[in-house]
Amino acid sequence: MSTINSPIVFVSVVFLLCTFFGHGAPPHQHNADDKTGSNDGAESLQNYIGNMALTEIELKKLAQFAIVWCHNNALILRPKGNEGRVDVAEFAPISLFPSPVFPRCF
C-alpha cells in the first residue's frame, strides 16, 4: 500500500489542510434553478488541493505529518501485527461516529 494513495492519508491531509490552512474548499455557488441535484463537492475539493501546487517532496512530508498527527490524536491506529509499519493504519472506531454521551457529561 502506497503512503500517498491511501484513503486514510487523503482524508487526513484534507482534514489538516482545512483545519490549519484556511476555511476549507472554496464556497460553492448554489443555483436555485439547478434541479439536477449534482454534487460537485468532491471535485471542488480535488481542485482546492490541486491548486496548492505542492511538490512531491512537500506532499510526502505533509502526508507523514498527517499520519503522525492522526496517530497522536487517536483518529487512526495501527492494526495488530503491523505495529512497525507507518503506511498501514485504520480508522479508530470512535472517530467515525459522534457520541451522544459526551455532550451530556458537560
Q: Is the pLDDT of residue 74 over 60?
A: yes
The pLDDT-based confidence of 61 (bands split at 50, 70, 90) is: confident
The grid cell for 91 is 480508522
Residues near 38 by Cβ (< 8 Å), separated by ≥ 6?
Answer: none
Domains held by the chain: number: 1
Q: State mean pLDDT over 38-46.
A: 63
Q: State mean pLDDT over 21-41.
A: 49
Single pTM value for the model: 0.40
Residue range(s) defining the domain that contains residue 14: 7-23+40-105
The pLDDT-based confidence of 24 (bands split at 50, 70, 90) is: very low
Angle between helices 7-20 and 56-72 (to 10 degrees): 90
Phi, psi for 16 (deg, rounded to 5): -65, -40
Q: Is the pLDDT of residue 99 over 70?
A: no
Q: Contact at 8 Å (CB) between 25 and 44?
A: yes
Task: Report pLDDT for 8.
Answer: 65
